[in-house]
Amino acid sequence: MSTARSTSSSDGVGTPSPAAGRGPVARWVPVVVWACFISWFSTGAFSAQSTNSYIDPVLRWLFGELTPETFRFAHSVIRKSAHLIEYAVLAVLLCRALTPPNERPTATIVVRTIVYCAIYACLDELHQLFVPRRTGSLYDSMIDTIGATIGASLFLGWRRSARAPDEQPARVHTEISARSRG
């Protein structure tokens, strides 16, 4: 009886895992699509004046009548939170694209991700200088970079907490062998 592994497709051995088949295009398409969404969010359709029309009814539904000062504050918090979230998502997608499947991101990848997101944020704010009803803001670029840092950190934590396929069983086997030797 042979101890060699079968390569037939019926037993699942020898077939690549879904992550192994994830090529560069599949990893980079989400980054490009999300970056396009960010650019779309930088158009006049998402200016502060435009977002008033749908944020106002939601705030009124949730909190009732608001004073103009309270509404402006809530509107600003929502808009700045959107900056934070959209760049956190971009950083997660970018870290995923830069990190080989089933590997943990290195510190270099995390730093590169944050730098790339910061550059994109600055370019996006520069773009907004030329869009009617929009303004470019270094403050927004800083919020975007903070969001990217949060996203890259979350990705790093998630990948570090995920066990590599061979890592845990090998360590357990070594511990069992050491115990059995006395």
Quick one: three-class SS letters along 143-181?
A: HHHHHHHHHHHHHHHHHHHCCCCCHHHHHHHHHHHHHHH
Residue 93 confidence class, pLDDT cut points 50, 70, 90: very high
pLDDT-derived band at 32, boundaries 50, 70, 90: very high
| In the predicted structure, residue 61 carries a pLDDT above the cut 80 | yes
Rounded average pLDDT over 12-27: 61
> Residue 155 in contact with residue 91, Cβ under 8 Å?
yes
Mean pLDDT of 19-32: 82
Lowest mean pLDDT among 62-71, 103-112, 119-128, 164-173: 164-173
Q: Which residues contact 129 (CB under 8 A, 6 or more apart)?
A: 135, 136
What pLDDT score does 17 carry?
45
What's the whole-number average pLDDT of the chain? 81
The angle subtended at Cα 36 by Cα 32 and Cα 38, nearest 5°, is 115
Angle between helices 68-98 and 138-161 (to 10 degrees): 50
pLDDT number for residue 181: 59
Decide: residue 112, CB within 10 A, 0-12 exposed, 13-18 middle, 19+ buried: middle
**Please, which residues have CB within 8 angstroms of residue 39's CB and are 6 or more apart in sequence?**
124, 127
> What does the block give as tokens for 56?
């106002």
pLDDT digits (tens, 9 = 90+) for 96-141: 999 998 888 999 999 999 999 999 999 999 999 998 888 889 999 9
Alpha-carbon Rg for the chain in angstroms: 24
